[in-house]
Amino acid sequence: MKRRLWLTAAALAVTSTLALAAPESLLPPSFDRPAPGPAPRPAATPAPPAGTSAVVQPLPSRGANPGDEAQLPVKLPGNLPSLGELEKMDPDQLDALFGLKPKFDVPPGARRAMQDVGVLSEAEGGFPEMSLANQPAALVRAILSGTKRPLLSRWGHILVRRALASRLDAPQGMDPVEFAGLRAALLNRLGEAATARALVQDVDSANYDAALAAAALDAYLATGDLLGACPVAQLKADLLKTPTWQMTKSICRAFAGSGRDADRELDRALFYGLAPRIDVLLAQRFAGAAGETRREINIEWQGVNELNPWRVSLARALGVDIPDPLRQAAPQYDFSDVAIPAVSLTDRVTAADRAGARGVLSSQAMVDLYSQLWADPSADDTDKTRAGTLRDAYAARDTADRVAALRTLWGTGGGDYGAQVLTAYAAARLPVSQDLAGDAPQIVASMLAAGLDRNALQWGRVVAEGSAAWGLLALAQPNRATTVSSGAVSKYIDQDASEAQRKSKFLVAGLAGLGRLDAGTTAGLAGDLKINLARESVWSRKIDRAAALNDGALVALLAGLGMQGEGWDKMTPRHLFHIVRSLTQVGLEAEARMIAAEAVARA
């Protein structure tokens, strides 16, 4: 408000000076025009030192020559609005009108170039910077935009996240800002909001476009860090016209010290229905946390039929309970719950298994959450039951007790893949014993879920050739020098009780992609299982071509494009074959082995 009054006063003062004649003097004539006195004697000008020029730069005169214009302190626009229009403008509009808003929010020396935008350098495990620089922009854009659903494979998810987070140059013909926005938006869709937030923070606010701003706001909401969007919202206020962006600007204004202006804006939003009532009430409650105003905002969920990122993020940050029916109907927000520190530990642990199965959380991160819950004295004993079972799986003295705890966590049939990720290191602590050969498939699958392939291979000496555990080890074994015999694979097929023998089909596809079956054996086994690994499509030709060019990042992104879906029944053996073979060709054999083993374990 102070800024608005100052600008209005300045406009009045300037327009009055231009429009009115000079005011009449109120002094008596003798004071207004005093009698002339003796002329002052000019001061002696010292001679310049020897060897210097006598030319002195004259002081500029103001209005000395006819036609000179007085210098105004503020340069007014040619189409200055009326006083009424000025009163209705918000501070952002006034700043833009009078040219007071800076174009950059960082000094020139601290501004970052738009090359190598990302989080992981090649030295930190990322892909090389030029991986996509020579690829057509249309192809990369189609891959990033076309990956719209979660990925089937946990290891595929981890690989795609690594590619998206790498410090990469934009493809030829693509604006680096667009490239960053596409990557951040895909990370958000994959549930990787924390990585998306780190990515968008690698771009200066002045360089944002609308798509990058929208992806950044989604990332900040999903991580419970709405105020992280304030630098962009304040510098480029008109970048988006969405209701959430407008309310975000008001919240940022409140935390910048203009709480009363923010209250007025949000009151108008509520009155005119800028957004649903619950969204505006949450915004008012959040803005009130800035402390300038003392308004009591009651949050009522009556009449609210669904959740959205805005409601989940602000409710979690404010400690507002979300009704259980709404929360249970939206499991996609489990990934947000895991990433928001303000969420209760019980809710974070509940969401951890789903996040671990997806690849958002590592096995160690999941164990850390369960350990915190176990050590929390305020937690209910019922909520600690699973944490206590996990503790037994790791620390029980008797092997039988540890195995019993593992079986409880895995459930009937071992279908809970999140639990297998959770127990990977506990499974690795078990002694290799013939007595446990019956549990070997789940023990091996659990270890491979966290990449513990060397621990898993120790079970090779107690499992029978052609058994379920043998199939996983045949895929997971690194640096295999010989091919797998057709007889061993045939034994596996004969014992396979999975639906439509999907495990056997994935085993053959994985072994063939890794080069562990010769051509004749592959053709014979594929014929027996009635699968065609040789059939091509537009996608298979693209990923095969990327592998031939040794472009690991492009192969990873194309693999992600081919692994979309909610269940492994959506994956075909042909897709798995091309993914595993292409990854192996570009030096990503470890990822290829883990994806193939996961496919067989989860089929």
45-66 pLDDT per residue, tens: 455 455 444 444 444 444 445 4
Tokens of 300: 């009522």
The helix/strand/coil state of 509 is helix
Residue 154 φ/ψ, nearest 5 degrees: -60, -45
Q: Assign 416 a pLDDT band (cuts: 50, 70, 90).
A: confident
How many CA atoms, within 13 angstroms, populate the side-chain half-sphere of residue 503?
A: 25
Q: Which residues contact 309 (CB under 8 A, 6 or more apart)?
A: 218, 221, 222, 333, 336
Q: What is the pLDDT of residue 279?
A: 98
Which residue type sits at 516? R
How many CA atoms, within 13 angstroms, populate the side-chain half-sphere of residue 336?
A: 27
CA distances 35 to 24, 29, 32, 222, 361, Å, are 20, 10, 10, 79, 91
Question: Is the pLDDT at 288 greater than 60, yes or no?
Answer: yes
Q: What is the pLDDT of residue 164?
A: 98
What does the CA dihedral 126, 128, 129, 131 come to, rounded to 10 degrees? -120
How many CA atoms, within 13 angstroms, populate the side-chain half-sphere of residue 351?
A: 23
The long-range contacts involving 196-199, CB below 8 angstroms and separated by at least 24 positions, are 196/222, 197/223, 197/225, 197/228, 198/119, 198/165, 199/117, 199/118, 199/119, 199/164, 199/165
Higher pLDDT, 534 or 79: 534
Helix residue ranges per DSSP H, 431-501 = 440-449, 453-457, 468-476, 486-495
What average pLDDT does this structure show over 199-215? 96
Burial level of 1, CB count in 10 A (0-12/13-18/19+)?
exposed
Q: What is the pLDDT of residue 414?
A: 60
Q: What is the pLDDT of residue 51?
A: 47
Q: Which of 235-239, 272-276, 459-463 has the lowest mean pLDDT?
A: 235-239
Question: Is the pLDDT at 1 greater than 50, yes or no?
Answer: no
Q: Assign 103 a pLDDT band (cuts: 50, 70, 90).
A: low
Residues 282, 310: Cα–Cα separation, whole Å: 9
Q: Assign 417 a pLDDT band (cuts: 50, 70, 90).
A: very high
Query: What element of type H or E holds 193?
Result: helix 193-200
Question: Is the pLDDT at 28 greater than 70, yes or no?
Answer: no
Tokens of 537: 């499509």
Q: Assign 283 a pLDDT band (cuts: 50, 70, 90).
A: very high
Give residue-wise pLDDT tens across range 375-393: 999 999 999 999 999 999 9
Q: Which residues contact 414 (CB under 8 A, 6 or more apart)?
A: 420, 441, 442, 445
Question: Is the pLDDT at 26 greater than 60, yes or no?
Answer: no
Q: Assign 130 a pLDDT band (cuts: 50, 70, 90).
A: very high
> Is this structure's pTM higher than 0.85?
no
Residue 11 near residue 82, CB atoms below 8 Å = no
Buried b (16+ CB within 10 A) or exposed e, 485-518: ebeebbbbbeebeeeebbbbbbbbbbbbbbebbe
Q: Assign 81 a pLDDT band (cuts: 50, 70, 90).
A: confident
Q: What is the pLDDT of residue 22?
A: 45
Residue 58 φ/ψ, nearest 5 degrees: -70, 150
Q: Which of 179, 176, 172, 164 is nearest to 135 (CA)?
A: 172
Residue 79 near residue 97, CB atoms below 8 Å = no
CA distances 282 to 186, 279, 289, 298, 308, Å, are 27, 5, 11, 9, 12
What average pLDDT does this structure show over 261-269? 94
Q: What is the pLDDT of residue 35?
A: 53
Mean pLDDT for all residues in the chain: 87
Q: What is the pLDDT of residue 61?
A: 46
Residue 191 near residue 335, CB atoms below 8 Å = yes
Q: Which of 106-115, 310-319, 338-347, 400-409 has the lowest mean pLDDT?
A: 106-115
Q: Assign 105 a pLDDT band (cuts: 50, 70, 90).
A: low
Place of tokens 């990503």: 588
What average pLDDT does this structure show over 119-125? 96
Q: What percent of the chain has pLDDT over 70?
A: 81
Give residue-wise pLDDT tens across range 533-544: 999 999 999 999
Residue 564 φ/ψ, nearest 5 degrees: -80, 145
Query: What element of type H or E holds 243?
Result: helix 243-255
Higher pLDDT, 98 or 473: 473
Q: What is the pLDDT of residue 113?
A: 80
Q: Which residues contact 30 (CB under 8 A, 6 or more apart)?
A: none
Give residue-wise pLDDT tens across range 144-174: 999 999 999 999 999 999 999 999 999 999 9
Question: Is the pLDDT at 78 greater than 80, yes or no?
Answer: no
What average pLDDT does this structure show over 198-223? 96
